[in-house]
């Protein structure tokens, strides 16, 4: 694979993921804790999470094949971006494709949240948990998008296409709970 193609896949992959994370955080926060809880319960039991997990793993495989067939050189920073992207894709893919992966992850996060804040307290409730999660994930996604965009000149079309792809992805993944 040509160096430019692989770099485009890595940067585009990062931007789609980070924009999707940002857009979904705004959507989830705007819809509220009850809607987000219903969405997570449906996601946990639905087919969309397995499809998303398979897509994430397939894209990770494409990036690995690209790296193995690389015709050219990547900078150290580009290798780091590639490795981090693979880590995120594989972790997210496995959490969503494995039968109990998402449930186990979600339950462990919720249990730790409640344990640290005291069961039954207002601070342990869904509203604060989802706000904290949405803010943390949103800040991390915005920071990563800024790094990917700023480290080297990037085509505005890649940024725009990634944002459009992220919007389409979020619309497809949350369409049933929005009804």
pTM of the predicted structure, to 2 decimals = 0.86
Q: How far apart are CA 141 and CA 20, in angstroms?
A: 9
Angle at 50 between CA 44 and CA 53, to 5 degrees: 110
Q: Is the pLDDT of residue 133 over 90?
A: no
Mapped onto helix, strand or coil, the DSSP state of residue 56 is helix
Q: What confidence tens digit (pLDDT) does each residue in 14-63 have?
A: 999 999 999 999 999 999 988 988 888 888 888 888 889 999 999 999 99
pLDDT at residue 148, as a whole number: 96
> Helix crossing, 156-178 with 48-68: angle to 10°?
160
Q: How far apart are CA 81 and CA 59, in angstroms?
A: 15
């Amino acid at each position: 694979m040509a160096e430019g193609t692989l770099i485009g896949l890595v940067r585009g992959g990062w931007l789609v993921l980070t924009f999707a994370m940002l857009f979904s955080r705004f959507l989830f926060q705007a819809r509220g804790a009850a809607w987000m809880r219903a969405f997570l319960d449906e996601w946990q039991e639905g087919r969309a999470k397995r499809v998303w997990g398979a897509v994430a793993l397939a894209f990770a495989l494409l990036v690995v094949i690209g790296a193995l067939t690389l015709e050219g050189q990547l900078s150290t920073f580009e290798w780091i971006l590639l490795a981090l992207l693979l880590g995120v894709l594989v972790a997210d893919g496995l959490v969503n494709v494995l039968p109990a992966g998402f449930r186990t992850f979600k339950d462990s996060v919720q249990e730790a949240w409640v344990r640290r804040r005291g069961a039954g307290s207002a601070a342990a409730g869904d509203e604060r948990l989802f706000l904290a999660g949405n803010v943390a994930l949103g800040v991390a996604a915005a920071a990563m998008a800024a790094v990917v965009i700023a480290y080297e000149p990037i085509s505005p079309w890649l940024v725009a296409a990634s944002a459009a792809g992220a919007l389409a992805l979020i619309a497809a993944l949350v369409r049933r709970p929005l009804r």
